[in-house]
A and B are shown apart, each in its own frame.
Chain A
Amino acid sequence: MDILGEVLAIMVLAAGGAAAVVAFLWLATFSWFERLVEGVFWLMGGMLCASVYFLLVWGLAFRGPISMFLSAALSGLVQFVPPMILEGSNKNFRRWALYVVWLYFWVTVLVGWQAGWLGLAFITLPALLVTGLGLFFVAGFILPSPFLDSDLYRGERPAPDPKAVPTFDQEVRDFFALLRHSRNRELRKRWFEHRRSALRCLVTYTLGTNYPYYVVVDEKIRERTEEVRSWLEEEERRVQRVGGDPFGGFLAGPGIVLTDCDHAVALSTGLRFKGAKGPGVVFTGMSARPEHVVDLRVQLRAFPVRAWTKDGIEVKVTTFIPFQIGTGKEVPALGKGFPYRSSDVFKAVCAQLVEHVGPSQTADSLEEHAWYDLPQLAGERIVREAISRYEFDDLYEPFELRQDAGQDSRSQIARELREGLDRVLPDWGIQRIGGGIGNLEPVAKERVIDQRIEAWRADWTRKIMRKRAEGQFRRIRLVEQARAQAQIDIILSIGKRIESLRSSGAPVPMDAVVLYFVEVLEQLADRPALRKLLPRDTGNIIQLARGTVGRGPADEEGE
């Protein structure tokens, strides 16, 4: 009977352990499936433990705490099964950690069991509570806490100073204020959920099933004492501190991304954009990673632009554009991260350019333009286009010629720049803060005179060629008109002669028509207007034609 009582006690204790594990996993935000699997395997382990103990006592008469511990150690091997089935490919999983937890539980139980049921209540239970709640308590310190409401004490006393070093007294007061005031309900919930998430991070990190942890660093301090720092590119700002399998599914995750108040991250699974998160502590889910680090501060890009004036002189101008990721007109506030619109981050990330550099179209020649390069690309194009509408002299005309101070060419180009940026940047999720240009300078100052002469010469050459073309056009038109008029006159004159010959009733001899045709030609050739346009021997040719026609066909046959 005693043996059965002990076996029953083992099963009850195993059930209690399963309940404790399930509760702890709930506290650590694990899913119901994970809680169910672990609870079931703890119960199975407990039943196995009871069975083994029964066999040891019944078969070998080996009874006592050591026998019970051996039974637990043997049956605890079942704890290796769930990770092997559900996370067989995860090499980082420390499967023995679950076994250690099992052993710890049973050691604690056996220690308490030595002192009877009161021992279980006064020794085992406190030890388990210390372990579970200790983990929960300590987890609150491993990740930055959310900022407690400035009105945490609801007017009873001044709010905690977020910049001050937290003291023990302050922490205790904050904690009780958090619990006491009913209006701190949302804050309590946020605080509690943060600790739960942190607890999960601590548990999965210990198990080795965490997703990768990243930290966003703003600058690299190369020499601590001399404060020699170097700014980092976007890729370098994302530092992976802890590795992990991002595809784990059982007792796994989350990943962590830590950012300062002025950075956000764009999370992606590689196939799907998961949104912009941060600043602060960002928990990442399965297969998500921070693809892009987004600097939320105002960015300033100053860059030289080379452009050609309308009269072909190359000038350079320093252009500057301050901008930032779209905030929806929200301004930074103390105690909060820099504001931004998640939709604008999405647009900015999608607008990033990848283009080939040079004639080669291979993958090696690809160059990526991040979102913060886009204002410069657009600004260069807008400034070039604006300058191309001005002549060199327009750029340097005296201000006095303008009635309005803002009508000079430099101001107008800067205005065009700002207006042009406002047309394109919002579609890229970027908000323009300002924009302008510096002094316009010729690229080759010593060659400006030569270039202006070249431009002047080119302009006059163009005008001369145009004049020539117009004269040629008029001449050809006059010649063609005269030719057409002569043909008309010939045809009309011959027509009238033939008509007069027909009206006389006599037959019209062909040689008379031809002779008359020659006479018409002769009359035309004698016109002063045409004479100067005809070749010199035109008269001789006509005389020869007249002679040939006057002799007639019979004379020609006789010859």
Chain B
Amino acid sequence: MLRMKLESEHFRRRLVLGLLVGMLLLLSGVAELHHRRVSLADLDSSMAGGLVLAIVGNVLPALVALFVIPRLAARFIRALYDTKDLQ
């Protein structure tokens, strides 16, 4: 029961994280489309691949931060609370 509850809690937190990343991707997409001066209607498959790569590339610094910050916190917690098993 407790495990299910924890799984549910984890899922909700990941969902919020996913929403944040989605929002970043959306903003990045808007900026990229505006930069390339194309609209979604004009997109074809050859352009879409490059656009997706550019959008993901734009979000990369934020993703790095989202990856590094929890690890910094985990490192801090491991040191202070002497928890060896915290990932």
Cβ distance B75 to chain A, nearest Cβ, rounded Å: 8
Q: Which residues of the other chain, B, contact A123 by a CB distance below 8 angstroms?
A: 27-28, 31, 58-59
Q: B26-76: which residues lie under 8 A (CB-CB) from chain A?
A: 27-28, 30-32, 34-35, 57-62, 64-66, 69-70, 72-73, 75-76
Could you mark each residue 1-40 of chain B with 1 if its beta carbon is under 8 Å from any beta carbon of chain A, else 0?
0000100010011001000100110011011101100000
Complexed CA–CA distance, A475 and B34 (Å): 134
Report if A294 contacts B (CB, 8 A).
no
> Which of the residues A131, A165, A168 comes within 8 Å of B69, measured between beta carbons?
A131
Q: Which residues of the other chain, B, contact A74 by a CB distance below 8 angstroms?
A: none
Cβ distance B78 to chain A, nearest Cβ, rounded Å: 10
Complexed CA–CA distance, A31 and B66 (Å): 27
Main secondary structure of the interface of B (DSSP, over half): helix
Could you mark each residue 196-210 of chain A with 1 if its beta carbon is under 8 Å from any beta carbon of chain B, else 0?
000001100110000
B65: nearest chain-A partner, CB-CB: A131
Interface centre among B24, B30, B80 (most CB of A within 10 A): B80
Complexed CA–CA distance, A99 and B77 (Å): 24
| Known A115-B34, A122-B31, A138-B70; contact A104-B61, beta-carbon cutoff 8 A | yes
> Which of the residues B28, B61, B70 comes within 8 Å of A122, measured between beta carbons?
B28
Contact A215 B80 (CB under 8 A): yes
Contact A115 B80 (CB under 8 A): no
B34: nearest chain-A partner, CB-CB: A118
Contact A126 B69 (CB under 8 A): no
Q: Which residues of the other chain, B, contact A205 by a CB distance below 8 angstroms?
A: 75-76, 79
Main secondary structure of the interface of A (DSSP, over half): helix
Report if A335 contacts B (CB, 8 A).
no
Contact A127 B62 (CB under 8 A): yes
Cβ distance A143 to chain B, nearest Cβ, rounded Å: 8
Contact size range, A: 35 or more
Contact A115 B35 (CB under 8 A): yes
Report if A141 contacts B (CB, 8 A).
yes
Report if A111 contacts B (CB, 8 A).
yes
Task: State the interface size on chain B (CB cutoff 8 A).
Answer: 35
Could you mark each residue 61-104 of chain A with 1 if its beta carbon is under 8 Å from any beta carbon of chain B, else 0?
00000000000000000000000000000000000000000001
> Which of the residues B5, B32, B76 comes within 8 Å of A202, measured between beta carbons?
B76
Report if B82 contacts A (CB, 8 A).
yes
Q: Which residues of the other chain, A, contact B20 by a CB distance below 8 angstroms?
A: 130
Contact A126 B30 (CB under 8 A): no
Q: Which residues of the other chain, A, contact B75 by a CB distance below 8 angstroms?
A: 205
Contact A130 B30 (CB under 8 A): no
Contact A108 B66 (CB under 8 A): no
> Which of the residues A126, A167, A213 comes within 8 Å of B24, measured between beta carbons?
A126
Q: Which residues of the other chain, A, contact B80 by a CB distance below 8 angstroms?
A: 142, 213, 215, 241-242, 256, 258
Contact B13 A168 (CB under 8 A): yes
Complexed CA–CA distance, A202 and B20 (Å): 22
Contact A122 B27 (CB under 8 A): yes
Q: Which residues of the other chain, A, contact B65 by a CB distance below 8 angstroms?
A: 104, 127, 130-131, 134
Interface centre among B24, B35, B70, B77 (most CB of A within 10 A): B35
Q: List 25 A-B contacts (CB under 8 A).
A: A104-B64, A111-B58, A111-B60, A111-B61, A112-B31, A114-B58, A115-B32, A115-B58, A118-B30, A118-B31, A119-B35, A127-B24, A127-B59, A127-B65, A130-B20, A130-B65, A138-B70, A138-B73, A142-B76, A167-B9, A168-B16, A202-B72, A206-B72, A215-B81, A241-B79
Extra A-B contacts (10), CB below 8 Å, given A111-B58, A142-B76: A104-B64, A126-B23, A130-B66, A131-B65, A142-B73, A168-B13, A169-B12, A206-B76, A213-B80, A242-B80
